[in-house]
């Protein structure tokens, strides 16, 4: 409320002033923009739409329907009753940063037990069958204050919030598991109501809560809808795209065409690209040692041989991904078969040890390796590793609790298998990213495994690298072994001494 009253009321005037523009300025609503970003790029001619986040102007969730080039929002849930803010409250309470650490809560959940679910329902929420709910604001401080929770919240959940960067305890793991299960339950109720309300067979999702890929996977398996499509930039960044699409279709009434099979974002590679000449000019200007691959086959062979040797590679290609997850153009990659890779990559990125990594897999092989019968191009669905690829647990393994589960080898691809046998899957289609597909395919030809590790090309708190300069600095600040910039290969041992021009640990606040 303080921010709304002090700053946000004046946004229209600020935009008009900064643009020095006297013409019409259009303001699609926040959840209208989320809905537009979810429906218009989807492969569906018509669909139900569900948007769930913290808060927009006043709405915190909406149910709508899209058909052809029109969207209609049918129902809304309003502030302060918000699934996104409930999740953020637990993010804060478990010692992570609100609006960036929610995915850590999701990753921590499998280490815990759902022992606080009953307390959440008894004290914090009154949930209806249609997924609407009221929050008991006696336990929260976000509406009028500057903290998410208050002392009443602390009494229910065993004391004060965990201090950031301190050791995690079983309490935080159990809190994470509990709020994750409550979130999944409410989303399923909302989805069932959306199906009843619209009669549609497909569902489009956006809003920050739609980035909860564990919940998305459970929603898909529940069979409420035949199929889902989730905006890759489901959070507020995607609102920019949604606002543009809302104007293009709703306001200007342009025609929309779909094929019913594949979405129009084509892998979401919508960011900047750098030419081979531009990359080579950068390398020569700074006298950086490199080799240039003779052709694509040679580049694939050299990169795959390095992966087989356990090397960690910074992979920088083509246009940057739009959205919070690296999808093979600004990625750090490694061998998913290595039992050491998860630990090594977390050290490289200065991340918490419990955090899992995602697999990139050839789309045509996904069902052989994961319990998923469709593509997941944007890393927004979690599914289990196929039982044929799992390793049986010993009695000693089964007795492990909490974070002690971390270092057990659970499958033939341990670097991407979480403690509950799940994985956040990215399927790679030849049409969307030919070079990344060719790389994984070459790895498959040599190893019989069509899966590699993919994590974003950055360190904790830092934005994903956008330019060759960004990529080189991240490469030199970390223990990444090899940097592949387009067709150019740089090896760490060949590089000159690197003098950093800033202390990045001070510049970038930890997420």
Reported in sequence order, the residue ranges of 12-130 that DSSP labels E, i.e. its strands, are 46-52, 59-67, 70-78, 125-127
pLDDT of res. 68: 96
pTM, to two decimals:
0.94
Task: Please give the CATH superfamily to which domain 24-265 belongs.
Answer: ATPase, nucleotide binding domain (3.30.420.40)
CA distance 228 to 44: 10
- Which residues fall within 8 angstroms of residue 164, CB to CB, at 6 or more apart? 95, 96, 97, 510
Please report which residue ranges of 337-400 form alpha helices under DSSP H.
Answer: 341-348, 366-369, 395-398
Q: Which residues pair with 228 in a beta bridge?
A: 203
CATH hierarchy code of domain 276-507: 3.90.870.20
Q: Are strands 330-335 and 313-316 parallel, antiparallel or unpaired?
A: antiparallel
CA angle (348 as vertex; 346, 352 as ends), nearest 5: 30
Q: How many CB atoms lie within 10 A of CB 462?
A: 22
E strand or H helix at 274, and its extent? none
Q: Which two tokens stand for residue 245?
A: 């699409």
Q: How many CB atoms lie within 10 A of CB 298?
A: 14
Q: Which conformational region is residue 318 in: left (phi greater than 0), alpha (psi within -120 to 50 degrees), or beta?
A: left
CA distance 106 to 88: 11
E strand or H helix at 455, and its extent? strand 451-456
pLDDT tens across the length of the chain (511 residues): 667 777 778 888 888 889 888 888 898 999 999 999 999 999 999 999 999 999 988 999 999 999 999 999 999 999 999 999 999 999 999 999 998 899 999 999 999 999 999 999 999 999 999 999 999 999 999 988 778 999 999 999 999 999 998 999 999 999 999 999 999 999 999 999 999 999 999 999 999 999 999 999 999 999 999 999 999 999 999 999 999 999 999 999 999 999 888 999 999 999 999 999 999 999 999 999 999 999 999 999 999 999 999 999 999 999 999 999 999 999 999 999 999 999 899 888 888 878 889 999 999 999 999 999 999 999 999 999 999 999 988 878 777 767 677 778 889 999 999 999 999 999 999 999 999 999 999 999 999 999 999 999 999 888 999 999 999 999 999 999 999 999 999 999 999 998 777 666 677 777 7
**Stretch(es) of the chain classified as CATH 3.90.870.20:** 276-507
CA distance 363 to 426: 8
**Stretch(es) of the chain classified as CATH 3.30.420.40:** 24-265
């Amino acid at each position: 409320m303080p921010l709304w009253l002090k700053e946000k009321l004046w946004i229209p005037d600020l935009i008009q002033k900064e643009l020095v523009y006297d013409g019409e300025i259009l303001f699609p609503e926040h959840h209208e923009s989320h809905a537009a970003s979810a429906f218009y790029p989807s492969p569906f001619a018509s669909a139900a739409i569900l948007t769930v986040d913290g808060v927009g102007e006043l709405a915190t969730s909406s149910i709508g329907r899209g058909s052809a080039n029109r969207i209609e929002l049918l129902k809304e849930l309003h502030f302060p009753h918000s699934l996104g803010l409930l999740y953020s409250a637990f993010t804060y309470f478990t010692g992570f940063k609100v609006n960036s650490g929610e995915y850590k809560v999701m990753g921590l959940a499998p280490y815990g037990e759902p022992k606080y679910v009953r307390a959440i329902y008894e004290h914090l929420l009154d949930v209806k069958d249609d997924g609407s709910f009221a929050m008991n604001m006696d336990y929260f401080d976000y509406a009028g204050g500057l903290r998410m929770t208050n002392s009443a919240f602390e009494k229910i959940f065993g004391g004060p919030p965990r201090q950031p960067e301190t050791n995690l305890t079983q309490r935080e793991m159990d809190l994470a598991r509990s709020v994750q299960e409550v979130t999944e339950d409410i989303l399923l109720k909302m989805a069932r109501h959306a199906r009843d309300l619209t009669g549609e067979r497909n569902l489009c999702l956006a809003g920050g809560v739609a980035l909860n890929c564990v919940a998305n996977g459970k929603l898909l398996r529940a069979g409420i809808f035949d199929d889902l499509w989730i905006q890759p930039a489901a959070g507020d960044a995607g609102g920019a795209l949604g606002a543009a699409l809302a104007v293009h279709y709703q306001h200007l009434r342009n025609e929309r065409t779909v094929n019913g099979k594949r979405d129009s974002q084509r892998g979401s590679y919508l960011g900047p690209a750098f030419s081979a000449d531009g990359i080579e000019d950068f390398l020569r200007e700074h006298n950086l040692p490199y080799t240039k691959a003779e052709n694509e086959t040679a580049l694939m062979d050299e990169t795959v041989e390095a992966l087989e040797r356990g090397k960690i590679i910074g992979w920088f290609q083509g246009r940057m991904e739009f959205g919070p997850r690296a999808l093979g153009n600004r990625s750090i990659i490694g061998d998913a078969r290595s039992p050491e890779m998860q630990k090594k990559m977390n050290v490289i990125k200065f991340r918490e040890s419990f955090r899992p990594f995602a697999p990139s897999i050839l789309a045509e092989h996904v069902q052989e390796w994961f319990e998923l019968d469709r593509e997941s191009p944007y890393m927004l669905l979690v599914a289990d590793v196929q039982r044929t690829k799992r390793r049986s647990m010993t009695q000693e393994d089964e007795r492990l609790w909490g974070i002690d589960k971390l270092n057990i080898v659970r499958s033939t691809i341990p670097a991407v298998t979480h403690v509950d046998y799940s994985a956040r899957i990215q399927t790679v289609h030849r049409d969307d990213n030919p070079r990344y597909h060719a790389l994984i395919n070459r790895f498959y030809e040599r190893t019989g495994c069509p899966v590699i590790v993919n994590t974003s090309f950055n360190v904790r708190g830092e934005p994903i690298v956008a330019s060759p300069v960004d990529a080189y600095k991240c490469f030199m600040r970390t223990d990444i072994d090899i940097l592949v910039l387009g067709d150019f290969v740089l090896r760490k041992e060949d590089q000159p001494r690197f003098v950093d021009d800033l202390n990045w640990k001070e510049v970038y606040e930890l997420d």
